[in-house]
Amino acid sequence: MRSLPLVITLTCLVLTGCKSDGPLRPDAYGTGAEVETPSDRLTTLNALDARVNAVGFRLSVANAELCPRTGPITGLLLHAESQYADYLREAARENWKLRGDLPGVAAIAPDSPAARAGLRTGDLLLSADGQPFQDGGPVGDAGFDGLSRNLAVLAEALDDGSAELVVERDGQRLTLRLGSVAGCAYPFQLDPSADFYARGDGERVFISSALAALSPLDDDLAVVLGHELAHNILDHRAYFDEVGLARDVLGNWGVAPWELVRAEREADRVGLFLSARAGYDPARAGPYWRMLSGRLPHLRMVQWGHPSAGERIRSLERVAEEIAVLRAAGQPLIP
Ligand SMILES: [Zn+2]
Find the 191 Cα to ligand 1 centroid distance in Å: 17
- Bridge partners for 181 per DSSP: 73
Task: Output phi, psi for 139, to 5 deg.
Answer: -85, 130
Q: Is 139 helix (H, G, I), strand (E, B) or coil?
A: coil
Sign (positive or negative) of CA dihedral 217, 221, 226, 227:
positive
Find the 200 Cα to ligand 1 centroid distance in Å: 8
Find the 231 Cα to ligand 1 centroid distance in Å: 7
Output DSSP code: residue 9: E
Find the 115 Cα to ligand 1 centroid distance in Å: 32
Find the 33 Cα to ligand 1 centroid distance in Å: 28
Find the 90 Cα to ligand 1 centroid distance in Å: 37
- Bridge partners for 10 per DSSP: 78
Closest CA to 197 of 243, 246, 249, 248: 243
Instruction: Measure the CA–CA gap between 288 and 293, rounded to whole angstroms.
Output: 9
Find the 37 Cα to ligand 1 centroid distance in Å: 35
Rg of the chain (C-alpha set)? 20
Superfamily of domain 9-183: PDZ domain (2.30.42.10)
Beta strand pairing status for 188-191 and 205-208? parallel
Find the 253 Cα to ligand 1 centroid distance in Å: 15
Find the 187 Cα to ligand 1 centroid distance in Å: 17
Find the 242 Cα to ligand 1 centroid distance in Å: 5
Instruction: Measure the CA–CA gap between 42 and 332, rounded to whole angstroms.
Output: 41
The answer for residues whose C-beta is within 8 angstroms of residue 330's C-beta and 6 or more apart is none
The domain limits of the chain are 9-183, 195-328
DSSP assignment string, 256-319: -HHHHHHHHHHHHHHHHHHHHHTT--GGGHHHHHHHHHHHSGGGGS-BTTB--HHHHHHHHHHH
Find the 129 Cα to ligand 1 centroid distance in Å: 41
The answer for residues whose C-beta is within 8 angstroms of residue 123's C-beta and 6 or more apart is 104, 105, 167, 168, 169, 174
Helix (H) or strand (E) holding 200: strand 198-200
Find the 267 Cα to ligand 1 centroid distance in Å: 6
Which residue type is seen at 225? L
Find the 161 Cα to ligand 1 centroid distance in Å: 33
Find the 250 Cα to ligand 1 centroid distance in Å: 13
Find the 315 Cα to ligand 1 centroid distance in Å: 14
**pTM (2 decimals)?**
0.89
Instruction: Kindly provide the b/e burial profile for residues 257-296, where b requires at least 16 CB atoms within 10 angstroms of the residue's own CB.
Output: eeebbebbbebbbbbbbbbbbbebbbbbbbebbeebbeeb
Q: Across the chain, how many H-helices and E-strands are there?
A: 10, 12
Find the 249 Cα to ligand 1 centroid distance in Å: 11
Find the 71 Cα to ligand 1 centroid distance in Å: 24
Find the 182 Cα to ligand 1 centroid distance in Å: 25
Find the 70 Cα to ligand 1 centroid distance in Å: 21
Find the 202 Cα to ligand 1 centroid distance in Å: 12
Residue 134 C-alpha from the chain's centroid = 26
Instruction: Measure the CA–CA gap between 185 and 60, rounded to whole angstroms.
Output: 7
Helix (H) or strand (E) holding 199: strand 198-200
Find the 239 Cα to ligand 1 centroid distance in Å: 7
pLDDT tens for the chain, residues 1 to 335: 333 345 566 665 544 334 445 667 778 888 777 778 888 888 998 999 999 999 999 999 999 999 999 989 999 999 999 988 888 889 999 999 999 999 999 999 999 999 999 999 999 999 999 999 999 998 888 888 899 999 999 999 998 999 999 999 999 999 999 999 999 999 999 988 888 888 888 888 989 899 999 999 999 999 999 999 999 999 886 544 444 444 444 344 444 466 677 788 899 999 999 999 999 999 999 999 889 888 876 665 445 456 677 888 899 999 999 999 999 999 999 99
Q: What is the pLDDT of residue 144?
A: 85
The answer for residues whose C-beta is within 8 angstroms of residue 15's C-beta and 6 or more apart is 83, 84, 142, 143, 144
Residue-wise pLDDT for 167-213, tens only, equals 999 999 999 999 999 999 999 999 888 888 888 888 889 898 999 99
Find the 227 Cα to ligand 1 centroid distance in Å: 6
Q: Is 250 helix (H, G, I), strand (E, B) or coil?
A: helix
Which residue spans within 150-196 are E strands per DSSP? Answer: 163-169, 172-178, 181-184, 188-191
Which residue spans within 38-153 are E strands per DSSP? Answer: 70-73, 76-79, 104-108, 124-128, 131-132
Find the 32 Cα to ligand 1 centroid distance in Å: 28
Instruction: Measure the CA–CA gap between 159 and 151, rounded to whole angstroms.
Output: 12
Q: What is the pLDDT of residue 113?
A: 97
Q: Is 70 helix (H, G, I), strand (E, B) or coil?
A: strand
